[in-house]
A and B are shown apart, each in its own frame.
Chain A
């Protein structure tokens, strides 16, 4: 007997799972900066935006020139307001026939997103070395806003306020595209999770925690704090860039105006609810957030019967209250930070015996 599932519910679960995977990568990279290194990263959305920019602003143009022979920069206004959909449809037709071209485009976009965001992360590590916590938070927030304003109101970047349509590199999957994309994002999430987990339990991860908890002591033990911060910012930013690219490919559309500071704070909220300094906690936070969000959105309409106001605002209130309560009564989150896993005592003793 096959279990019958409502197709609408199935679609809801599938779409939520894709978002879970993308935000999972995003929040895991935030966890590396915030949970392990203790950086007040209030400009996280900047790197997501740069990932989106790499796809919507750079590789899309390359694809258009290669596959459709259109140069969108020749007349940006005309292209953005009238020609976008036909031009992208032409590119999609090529991808539908040739999976190899699609995959090449996809991988090029991801690499470019990672490089662009990573380079910006290294640039941001300059102030991160000098400023105090609160000032650094403001600087990152303002930098992210600057990136958003500049990219949104420059039409040549990603069609400005119109938003740029992005070719679908998985057009060849046909009707399986949503499921195929879910598999790809989950694969990326798994990869990032394994890397993060290995990183966190390595000497590198332990050094990060040492820097976070006692910077002077870490320095006394010969840890080069500058180098650690630069590496962490570069890695985490590159990962956020990949998440941004995946998000854009999920929507097949990007509007640079969508990268508002709220996106940063949603990630923070997820991380705080789940537990900082714990990769499982970070993912749990994303899961709890989406579970809460979807449940509330199902019951939302019944609120309207009681009070005649837009129910989304009750959701916001619940969201805000949950953040404050978690911070007040369980600052370590659902899953607190665990001591890092080292080799078990038996193996250590054996290694010592051998040495």
Chain B
């Protein structure tokens, strides 16, 4: 089902839908660019939310260092392009850097799990102290990225702040940047969710992983090395988040604060979908991304409210969700589906 939905989004069909739907609605003039931006941001938040939900499932906390993993991904991509791809005369494209981005960010994520979260969980640390530890981790990663950026800029004279990765995005023939980004982010989301689905539901390791997630103690009793399984899960978290970070750096100027500044929105995307459901992030990402961009363009702007207020839309949404349905949208839908089956 997912795949058909994404095909709708990813292909040129968007223009088709746009033409069929919105042009007939005279009162709401949705222009293509805004819609494209909305879907692109939704895709990015889906990727970020996927990682955050996996974090939540494995460590029982939403990590404050999650945004910084995205920052690491963006910088790895940029430095690879500048120091590896451009001098070697190869085609410079962010997609050539994806394997390295996934590997390095994944390694950083595994390191955070092995060095900080795992020992703390073993010592029986509570939710609050784990969250504060993840905040300490944010500081370490954030400052490490800044030091690398400073060092590279001062030593090699390469600009490392306020860069946009957009110029190395693959542009499909005959399209502009936004259309290409729309297609590419959608393909990435489809591929990653499909891979995750295949891994979790069609492989032996996926069964082990789902068993560990579902019932920790039972999985341990069955002889599964749960901690190793979770370390692998953190590799996935890092890889997905790093790739999301590359896309973020196409639209937001790249600084060491790239991910940290958008952390609250990532939390919102995760919570709206439902933290303990991996695919809740897909739903949450779309609700937040569409709400943010379309809300700013078609609700706030006509009312004369400054666009900075767009952040309030998802925030208000999450406050409402937390107060009235803390299990998230995915939880609501599944409970409705169960009621319908009865």
Residues of chain A touching chain B, judged by Cβ–Cβ distance below 8 Å, are 34, 38, 40, 42, 126-127, 130-135, 137-139, 141-143, 145-146, 149-150, 152-153, 261, 265, 268-269, 272, 307-310, 313-317, 319-324, 327-328, 331
Instruction: Using A135-B271, A139-B319, A331-B129 as known contacts, say yes or no to A145 and B264 having CB atoms under 8 A apart.
Output: yes
Show 14 A/B contacts (Cβ-Cβ < 8 Å), sorted by A. A127-B323, A134-B61, A135-B271, A142-B315, A145-B311, A146-B315, A149-B312, A272-B129, A308-B155, A309-B154, A316-B142, A316-B146, A317-B139, A321-B136
Contacts of A317 on B, CB cut-off 8 Å? 139-140, 143-144, 147
Residue among A40, A132, A309, A314 making CB contact with B326, cutoff 8 Å: A132
Query: Is B268 a contact of A142 with CB atoms below 8 Å?
Result: yes
How far, in angstroms, from A178 to B147 measured CA to CA in the complex?
Answer: 36
Query: Is A272 a contact of B150 with CB atoms below 8 Å?
Result: no
Instruction: Using A127-B322, A146-B316, A314-B143 as known contacts, say yes or no to A309 and B309 having CB atoms under 8 A apart.
Output: no
Contacts of B17 on A, CB cut-off 8 Å? none
Q: Is B119 an interface residue (CB 8 A)?
A: yes
Q: How far is the CB of A212 from chain B (nearest CB, A)?
A: 11
Contacts of A316 on B, CB cut-off 8 Å? 139-140, 142-143, 146
How far, in angstroms, from A143 to B135 measured CA to CA in the complex?
Answer: 18
Query: Is A320 a contact of B125 with CB atoms below 8 Å?
Result: no
Q: Is B66 an interface residue (CB 8 A)?
A: no
Instruction: Using A314-B147, A331-B125 as known contacts, say yes or no to A134 and B131 having CB atoms under 8 A apart.
Output: yes
How far, in angstroms, from A310 to B153 measured CA to CA in the complex?
Answer: 11
How far, in angstroms, from A131 to B318 measured CA to CA in the complex?
Answer: 13
Query: Is B315 a contact of A308 with CB atoms below 8 Å?
Result: no
How far, in angstroms, from A106 to B194 measured CA to CA in the complex?
Answer: 62
Contacts of A322 on B, CB cut-off 8 Å? 136
Q: Is the interface of B mostly helix, strand, loop or mixed?
A: helix
Contacts of B319 on A, CB cut-off 8 Å? 139, 142-143, 146
Contacts of B119 on A, CB cut-off 8 Å? 328
Interface code B117-161, partner A: CB below 8 Å = 1, 0 otherwise? 001100101111101110111111011101100110011000000
How far, in angstroms, from A258 to B292 measured CA to CA in the complex?
Answer: 23
Contacts of B127 on A, CB cut-off 8 Å? 40, 133-134, 137
Sample of 11 further A-B pairs with CB below 8 A, known A137-B128, A146-B316, A149-B308: A134-B62, A137-B127, A138-B267, A141-B264, A150-B309, A309-B146, A309-B150, A310-B150, A313-B144, A316-B143, A327-B132
Q: Is B14 an interface residue (CB 8 A)?
A: no
Task: List the 10 shortest-distance A-B pairs measured between CB atoms, nearest first.
Answer: A320-B139, A323-B136, A309-B150, A316-B143, A320-B140, A313-B143, A153-B308, A320-B136, A324-B136, A146-B315
Q: How far is the CB of A281 from chain B (nearest CB, A)?
A: 15
Q: How far is the CB of B97 from chain A (nearest CB, A)?
A: 24
Q: How far is the CB of B274 from chain A (nearest CB, A)?
A: 11
Q: How far is the CB of B110 from chain A (nearest CB, A)?
A: 16
Query: Is A133 a contact of B128 with CB atoms below 8 Å?
Result: yes
Chain A residue at minimal CB-CB distance from B305: A153
Contacts of B137 on A, CB cut-off 8 Å? 320, 324
Contacts of B146 on A, CB cut-off 8 Å? 309-310, 313, 316
Query: Is B133 a contact of A149 with CB atoms below 8 Å?
Result: no
Chain A residue at minimal CB-CB distance from B309: A153
Q: Is B306 an interface residue (CB 8 A)?
A: yes
Query: Is B315 a contact of A145 with CB atoms below 8 Å?
Result: yes
Q: How far is the CB of B312 from chain A (nearest CB, A)?
A: 6
Contacts of B315 on A, CB cut-off 8 Å? 142-143, 145-146, 149
How far, in angstroms, from A327 to B126 measured CA to CA in the complex?
Answer: 10
Chain A residue at minimal CB-CB distance from B323: A127
Residue among B125, B151, B312 making CB contact with A150, cutoff 8 Å: B312
Q: How far is the CB of A138 from chain B (nearest CB, A)?
A: 5
How far, in angstroms, from A278 to B268 measured CA to CA in the complex?
Answer: 34
Contacts of B140 on A, CB cut-off 8 Å? 316-317, 320-321, 324
Q: How far is the CB of A157 from chain B (nearest CB, A)?
A: 13
Query: Is A268 a contact of B311 with CB atoms below 8 Å?
Result: no
How far, in angstroms, from A132 to B120 measured CA to CA in the complex?
Answer: 21
Query: Is A327 a contact of B150 with CB atoms below 8 Å?
Result: no
Chain B residue at minimal CB-CB distance from A320: B139
How far, in angstroms, from A25 to B133 measured CA to CA in the complex?
Answer: 24
How far, in angstroms, from A133 to B311 measured CA to CA in the complex?
Answer: 24
How far, in angstroms, from A351 to B126 measured CA to CA in the complex?
Answer: 41
Contacts of A38 on B, CB cut-off 8 Å? 128
Contacts of B267 on A, CB cut-off 8 Å? 138, 141-142
How far, in angstroms, from A40 to B127 measured CA to CA in the complex?
Answer: 9
Q: Which of the listed residues B136, B142, B155 has the most CB atoms from chain A within 10 Å of its own CB?
A: B136
Contacts of B144 on A, CB cut-off 8 Å? 313, 317
Q: Is B116 an interface residue (CB 8 A)?
A: yes
Contacts of B155 on A, CB cut-off 8 Å? 308
Query: Is A268 a contact of B318 with CB atoms below 8 Å?
Result: no
How far, in angstroms, from A130 to B135 measured CA to CA in the complex?
Answer: 25
Contacts of B131 on A, CB cut-off 8 Å? 40, 42, 134, 137
How far, in angstroms, from A180 to B194 measured CA to CA in the complex?
Answer: 66
Contacts of A141 on B, CB cut-off 8 Å? 264, 267
Query: Is B309 a contact of A149 with CB atoms below 8 Å?
Result: yes
Residue among A146, A152, A153, A308 making CB contact with B151, cutoff 8 Å: A308
Contacts of B142 on A, CB cut-off 8 Å? 316
How far, in angstroms, from A320 to B144 measured CA to CA in the complex?
Answer: 11
Query: Is B154 a contact of A153 with CB atoms below 8 Å?
Result: no
How far, in angstroms, from A126 to B322 measured CA to CA in the complex?
Answer: 12
Chain A residue at minimal CB-CB distance from B119: A328
How far, in angstroms, from A137 to B309 measured CA to CA in the complex?
Answer: 22
Q: How far is the CB of A41 from chain B (nearest CB, A)?
A: 9
Within 8 A of A (CB), among B91-135: 116, 119-120, 123, 125-129, 131-133, 135
Q: How far is the CB of A293 from chain B (nearest CB, A)?
A: 13
